[in-house]
Structure 1
Amino acid sequence: MKSYLTSVTVLCLATGAAHAGALDRTGQSVDVLFETGRYGEFSFATVSPDLSGNTVTPFLSNGSGSGDISPSYTVFSAAYKADINNTWSYALILDEPFKADVDYLAGTGYFAAGAQANFQSYALTGLLQYNMPSGFSVYGGLRLQSTEADARIPFVASYEVEADRDYGVGYVAGVAYERPDIALRVSLTYNSEIAHENDTVETSVSLLGGPNASVTEFETPQSVNLAFQTGIAPGTLLFGGVRWVDWSDFALTPANYQTLTSGGSLLSYEDDVYTYTLGIGRRLNDTWSIAATLGYEETNGSFFTNLGPSDGQESIGLAAIYNKGNMKITTGIRYVRIGDTVTRVGALAPAARFDGNDAIAFGVKVGYNF
């Protein structure tokens, strides 16, 4: 029963956080800690966004459209959990917590035509959990994370940048309470910020020229996850959560780009992001379970950079879980309505309006108890 309940709360696998606020891609879940015994899992999702905008100022080719700027991408994660004894357990989690890929089509007449940007991260997290007889547990550990980025922005002096891979270390800390007789679990997890210093090379056709080497310093943001689940009827589970991410403290600002744009950042956000989820799961029989979830992120109404033009979201997801012996397979689909937003170019705002956009994600997770 516990195995089923844990499976259903991770509805839509990696798709649960697909195209979430800012660069968020996995939600940094620690649910694997609550699996029974020795357990391993692998999940894979493909996300297909449809994201396009139109200029709204005569200084930037008024009315021309960008075309779809967000290529389809994949997200993966893997995790392993085991008990040391009746009190202690541990887990290892490999994922891609933050990711972005923007590609403006060339030849559209849009002011950002030909611009491209990519941000990639990988993280390996090691967790240790202490389980108390009262139902409380505490857990924590370290996270090793790598980041790299590159961009080409023709409308800013034919600017190009490449930031080499850098590694940083952060930590995770949390507390949980479980009451198995009513399928209750509440967990609160803190993920620290992780500092990076990426060796960077920039070029442009301005007086800055290049290639110019420097070090770009930034931090991936701290976050807090509050998750819950509880049985509301035999075989029926209510679950959900709230995730806060400190995106207002994030800014990726290479030295030359800052000079060229009079203080602008390649990628930054004015507001923090709160993501809310609520779902219900139902066990149909010993083999099959189904679940559905709703997701919401508030629209902040801030101006965004042209490399990250989305503000808030609403989503709905469906999943089916198949249990056979020691194996369970979860398949899910999620539809996301991406929030409307307007962008700026340096001090010029609004520059473009992005509205009526969406994304769809498909995923599969395979878990096995050893």
Structure 2
Amino acid sequence: MRATFHLKTLAVAVATLSVASITNAAGLDRSGQDITAFLQDGTYAEAVYTYIDADVSGYDSSNNNPGDNRYVRGNATGDIAESYDFFRYGVKTDINDTFSIGVLYDEPFGAAANYEGDNNFVANTNPAQSAGEFANDQVPSGPIGNAIIGAEATTAGQGTNVEVRSENLTAILGMKLGADKNFQIYGGPVAQRVQADVKLRGLAYGPATSYTSHISPDQDYGWIAGMSYSKPEIALKAALTYRSEIDHSMDIYESYPLAPTIGGIGTPPRALPATQVTNMELTTPKSVNFDFQTGINPTTLATAKVRWVPWGDFVITPPLYNEVSQSTARPNGLDLVEYEDDQWQVELGLAKRLAPALAVSGTVGWDSGAGDVTTSLGPIDGYYSVGLGAKYNVTPEWAVSAGGKYLWFGDAKGQLPTGKIVGDFQDNDGYILGMKLSYQGK
């Protein structure tokens, strides 16, 4: 006779692996857009806190000539990755044996980087030194070179900085199908809010040094759809979830001190302002998540997560920044941020119930990254990870979980949109800590 083991006997092991789950991945991916709270049985609610601390350091390029793309190892950058934290919430309940509803909140996309110290991503505190570098033909002389010296002087000591924040609120309606209600289809609307600040400082950015932009918060809408299958007698659940792109139309303030000096495309060059407030279009990427779990024996659960995000299609194109970069060779100008490749993530795990109220878990993970070379504002090319977690049921309904994950980041070269390599970042790592409070009732 085939052995069976009901999900109830494994309940304490379920969800121990998602405390410090897929985070700090390719592109701007943060939360992994987890929807497993909606896949839980009965009435379920969770609140998850995640803290990420990464060490990302490398060397700038001592070649500051914007027309020469050769990388020449220069000064150490120090740790550019700022620690950050975020929350995830979820609540779900069954209306009857056919219909379920849920609401999920997460912070799906973000970035936090800051350069400090003596390197070419920090505005020079000694304009005479910048002038000396010009004299040594490391950067061009003439009006543009003089303007760069002036821009460096006005932002002296300031470092390159980027901060991107986003929030998602997802409403889901599910309908179970089949005689045993093993199949479910689900979907619903998604509200997304995005904002960003970028400061480019230092000789690494050539004429773009001292560029600043502030993207005001904008809220727009998309949708989610998926299907799942469950077999409770072996604790099996599988779900495939699609999230749509979300188009944003955002107000953006830009300051580009050298824009009037450089001018726009044309003969003579078209006059451009040093500052402007205008509108920018931004599309956050679609994604596909696959979540799987199955019981191996009455006390052991195996899980797998796979995620795909087409970061190769994603760009950030501020209007003034783009206009300044237009030329006869590049009539369409440059994007501020772009990625070469799409992202794949895989995470495998095991959870073991050690006692009626206690379970532990372990995971291994891989992220493909979004290509090397990558942007100087986030120079990481994927990662490998290992994680540990534990869950304790304080009562049959209430549980507390905690977990951690260690990440080895892939080496990456920081590249400007012009193709110039301005940094080399190797042998970096980071860690993630998470805590979860959850409730599950029938």
Pairwise TM-score range, normalised by the shorter structure: over 0.9
Q: Which has the larger radius of gyration?
A: 2
Distance apart, 1:14 and its partner CA: 5.1
- Mapped to 2, the partners of 1:35 and 1:153 lie a distance apart of 45
Q: Which residue of 2 aligns with 1:168?
A: 220
- Residue 301 of structure 1 deviates from its aligned partner by 4.6
2:351 is the alignment partner of 1:281: yes
Letter in 1 for 2:108: P
Distance in 2 between residues matched to 1:183 and 1:349, nearest whole Å? 52
* Contact 2:241–2:288 under 8 Å retained in 1: yes
Match for 1:19 among 15, 24, 34? 24
Q: How far did residue 346 of structure 1 move?
A: 3.4
How many Å separate the matches in 2 of 1:336 and 1:7?
26
User: Offset of 1:62 from its aligned partner?
Assistant: 4.0
In the other structure, the counterpart of 1:368 is 439
Q: Which residue of 1 aligns with 2:309?
A: 245
Given that 1:13 and 1:364 are in contact with CA atoms closer than 8 Å, whether structure 2 keeps it comes out as no
1: distance between equivalents of 2:183 and 2:373? 43
Cα shift at 1:300: 6.0
What is the match of residue 98 of structure 2? 87
Q: Secondary structure at the match of 1:64?
A: strand
8 Å CA contact 1:12, 1:330 repeated in 2: no
- Return closer, same or farther for 1:6/1:126 CA change in 2, 3 Å cut-off: farther
Cα separation, partners in 2 of 1:246 and 1:9, compared to 1, 3 Å: farther
Call closer, same or farther: CA 1:275–1:11 in 2, change over 3 Å: farther
Greater mean alpha carbon deviation, residues 261-270 or residues 286-295: 261-270
Q: CA RMSD in A?
A: 1.9
* Equivalent residues in 2 for 1:263-274, closer than 5 Å: 263-274=333-344
Q: Structure 2: state its 5+ residue gaps.
A: 1-5, 66-71, 124-158, 261-271, 327-332
* Paired residues of 2:307 and 2:346 also in contact (CA < 8 A): yes
- The range that moved more, 136-145 or 199-208, is 199-208
Secondary structure at the counterpart of residue 352 of structure 2: strand
The answer on 1:298 being equivalent to 2:368 is: yes
Aligned twin of 2:236: 184
User: Equivalent residue for 1:70?
Assistant: 81
Q: TM-score, normalised by structure 1?
A: 0.94
Kindly indicate whether residue 389 of structure 2 is the aligned counterpart of residue 344 of structure 1: no
- Deviation track 1:40-84 (CA, whole Å, cap 9, x = no partner) reads 110101111101121245337841111111111001111111111
- Long gaps (5+) in structure 1: none
State TM-score, norm by structure 2: 0.80
Matched residue count = 369
CA shift in 2, pair 1:8/1:28, >3 Å: farther
Quote the Cα distance in structure 2 between the aligned partners of 1:369 and 1:134: 20
One-letter amino acid matched to 2:218: D
1:308, distance to aligned residue in structure 2 (A):
1.7
Partner of 1:308: 378
- Indicate if the aligned counterparts of 2:115 and 2:121 stay in contact, CA closer than 8 A: no
Letter in 1 for 2:43: R
Aligned 1:187-266 pairs, distance under 5 A: 187-206=239-258, 207=260, 208-262=272-326, 263-266=333-336
Shift of 1:255: 0.8
Structure having the higher strand fraction is 1
Percent of aligned pairs sharing the same letter: 34
The residue aligned with 1:109 is 119
